[in-house]
Amino acid sequence: MAGSELTNIKSPRVKAVRRLTKRAFRDRDRSFIAEGPQAVREALALDGVVTQLFATAEAEVRHADIVAAAAAAGVPSQRASGEVMAELAQTVTPQGLLAVCRFVHVPLDDAVTADARLVAVLAHVRDPGNAGTVLRTADAAGADAVVFTDASVDPYNGKCVRASAGSLFHLPVVTGTPVARAVGRLKERGLRVLAADGAGEHTLDDVDLSGPTAWIFGNEAWGLPEEILELADDVVRVPIYGGAESLNLATAAAVCLYASARSQRAGSRSSVPRLP
């Protein structure tokens, strides 16, 4: 690691990183914080994304492979004391490794291509933990892109980045797009747009999900407003078989995205001749 250990929590360098916890400074610097070995490792896998690495002496030993990868990529690295890491980190128990990263989102037209078959759209989603979990789930389900509309949480919010568990760096992410424009682009590309809502006329069991599909997920407390429901090709609810009143956003998104992924893969397998 470069130079001596950084120990002053009031140093300009620490303050410059710490201010990235606020959206206004993230937007101004077009940078954000990725915290923990999983996020930092995935960020380093993308060329030119990580601009600074901070690690405690203990983390240098525990995560020597990550420190080496940063050095190989020419990323400026700094050893930090536990006190400095606690000042920079946004978790109660920091893991001793933190990176400053450039924004990674892409334009809507680049994310939703002619080959897209599964896309998640977050409309008016305000909770960063839920948003990050939906992003992680979309990645796991093999989605082609995730769209954060203009009324949704910032995907570079620290809690959202941590909840995504590195998935922020795996698939195209769009930010700040109006819902109507996103839906228009999705339909132009031939995706069927489904709104996930508890008041849906059809259940997940009733709809054919084998074709290219985009799911719109709404606010944690009040769902999707009528004007967004009207943009969708259909409004679909997740069936409740037990006594629960509803599912939370992240769980409902997981059910919907995996239902689409499974149907699409089943359809592609059925079109391939079986070996004798």
Q: Rounded to whole angstroms, how far apart are CA atoms 263 and 50?
A: 37
Question: With contact defined as beta carbons under 8 Å apart, do 32 and 25 qualify?
Answer: no
- Please state which of the ranges 153-157, 173-177, 237-241 shows the lowest mean pLDDT: 237-241
pLDDT at residue 1, as a whole number: 58
Domain residues of the chain, as ranges? 2-102, 108-270
pLDDT confidence of residue 2:
53
Model confidence, pTM: 0.91
Helix 128-140 and helix 249-270, axial crossing angle in degrees, nearest 10: 10
Q: Pick from 217, 215, 172, 213: which is nearest to 190 by CA?
A: 213
Pick 108-270's CATH classification: 3.40.50.720, 3.40.140.80, 3.40.1280.10, 3.40.50.620: 3.40.1280.10
Section 26-33 average pLDDT? 97
Question: Would you identify the CATH topology of the domain 2-102?
Answer: 60s Ribosomal Protein L30; Chain: A; (3.30.1330)
2-102 and 108-270, same CATH topology: no
pLDDT: which is higher, 15 or 247: 15
CB 103 within 8 A of CB 25: no
Q: What percent of the chain has pLDDT over 70?
A: 95
Average pLDDT, the chain: 93
Asked if the model's pLDDT at residue 269 lies above 60, the reply is no
Contact residues for 2 (Cβ-Cβ < 8 A; gap 6+): 76, 77, 78, 79
Residue 193: φ, ψ to 5°: -100, 120
